[in-house]
Structure 1
């Protein structure tokens, strides 16, 4: 096999609780991960040597991204002499709490394990994934899951049966900044700022006046949710007429997506 084409999926967090930091300085969490049918399109083609990335987003064409780091990790671990040409059409919003970078990383790890004939076990791939980022193990896992630890302890679960209206306010949120702001807000009281759906809500609303106004407008009538550390919000619904009114209230300069849940990630089908 010389080439693999794959849809690299986004995720949402149906809920997210943030707890104390572990001994390595990472926060422990509890969450419910859900794959959705919003994808980046990735192609991997074996080359003589080196790592080449081409994309519709220029920031992915350098070495400071999860795709390059994942490929480099596999080379260091296995002493592989092979190269790879990677193309990615980026559709998943960046800095939106949808796990796009983590998904791209997992897709890269799984694809290169196959194309380079590395034959690494899933446990080994999980170890590599954990070094790249906290959400990457979930995308290696390939099934919807409850996550604990730093997000790396996973228990498979069934998908939600609801459709998803995904609302993107075109804000690029930094996860590290959001965790820092949450720690400041809580101080010594770890129970402070716990939210019934996502513990980042209060921080997110405090730092974004436009989001706060939208939330105040929508929340009395709709159960609006936050994915990851933001900035994407979502509403679960069953029938299209349930969301007709909210579509009129989304600011015209924002984006929204009509999504469906997935049970498995497409990377499960790379054999």
Structure 2
């Protein structure tokens, strides 16, 4: 079987993630730096005559409605294309890992669809589709990834405000997968409970740099980073394995480490590829892990 388009869907990590209190509409504003990594899913897409989206994935069972089917439906409603697609998804990013896998798959399918349909993927078209699929999709579409092969951005609002910045290329990342599936809904619920009970002040003693300072800190020495993830303390309380993974990665020499997104992937930042690979050799005796850049 031949495919018309092959596109990568990269993982992202959150370098710091401040989750603010729930808004009146039920969403949360965030403040974060998102960065893509060269650890990715791959999508192979071909046109089919019947107007439907068929998704095949051998690595995991996807729900009937997923970010790929949502992306196809949203693209159809915005463009009135007259063809369907079959997608073979090679899934390497863990579900519930905080790496934005589903959103990245959706953004990359949108890029593939625009190529297949020979329709320019304008900002307005990208945003119209992202609005219907998920907040993190905005980042992958506007981070610079599809233009440069690497993306990084300051992200705010509920994830739809994306200001691309130049990604650092001098860092290596070690990702540890504790084997825990952390649903976004559960994670936000735990954050809401922590705000209501005052745990961030009384127990976790969490502090965050000002949003205006994130870019400056990002370009500084990673060992001096003061970035914090609001999800980390509440999820460690519920899943101590996350805390154990974080402790191990720091003991293996990471300059800085935290959980990504709403978890449960833990990652450490290293100043060299050699240091990250050496830490990986130590950590893989206990954890499933991978080095990325």
User: Which bin holds the TM-score, normalised by the shorter protein?
Assistant: 0.7 to 0.9
Indicate the SS of the match to 2:127.
helix
Q: How far apart are the structure 2 equivalents of 1:118 and 1:159? A: 28
Give the structure 2 partner of residue 177 of structure 1.
Answer: 186
Give the structure 2 partner of residue 168 of structure 1.
Answer: 177
Give the structure 2 partner of residue 137 of structure 1.
Answer: 138
Residues 125 and 214 of structure 1, relative CA distance in 2, 3 Å threshold: closer
List runs of 5+ in structure 1 lacking aligned partners: 261-271
Residues 205 and 251 of structure 1, relative CA distance in 2, 3 Å threshold: farther
Indicate the SS of the match to 1:224.
strand
Q: How far apart are the structure 1 equivalents of 2:184 and 2:165? A: 25
Structure 1 residue ranges (4+ consecutive) displaced by more than 6 angstroms after TM superposition: none
Q: How far apart are the structure 1 equivalents of 2:119 and 2:171? A: 39
Q: How far apart are the structure 2 equivalents of 1:252 and 1:139? A: 33
8 A contact 2:17–2:261 mirrored in 1: yes
8 A contact 1:18–1:199 mirrored in 2: yes
Number of residue pairs matched by the alignment: 258
8 A contact 1:11–1:36 mirrored in 2: yes
Task: State the Cα distance separating 1:190 from its structure 2 match.
Answer: 9.2
Give the structure 2 partner of residue 147 of structure 1.
Answer: 155
Between structures 1 and 2, the one with greater helix share: 2
Q: How far apart are the structure 1 equivalents of 2:277 and 2:81? A: 53
Q: How far apart are the structure 1 equivalents of 2:137 and 2:96? A: 15
Aligned equivalent of 1:210, options 241, 254, 270: 241
List runs of 5+ in structure 2 lacking aligned partners: 145-151, 208-226
Residues 217 and 257 of structure 1, relative CA distance in 2, 3 Å threshold: closer
> For residues 1-271 of structure 1, what are the structure 2 equivalents within 5 Å?
3-49=4-50, 50-60=52-62, 62-119=63-120, 121-143=122-144, 144-160=152-168, 161-187=170-196, 189=198, 192=201, 193=204, 194-195=206-207, 196-216=227-247, 219=250, 222=254, 223-240=256-273, 242-243=275-276, 246-247=279-280, 250=283, 252=285, 254-260=287-293
TM-score, normalised by the number of residues in structure 2: 0.80
8 A contact 1:45–1:86 mirrored in 2: yes
Indicate the SS of the match to 2:25.
coil
Q: How far apart are the structure 2 equivalents of 1:190 and 1:126? A: 36
8 A contact 1:34–1:145 mirrored in 2: yes
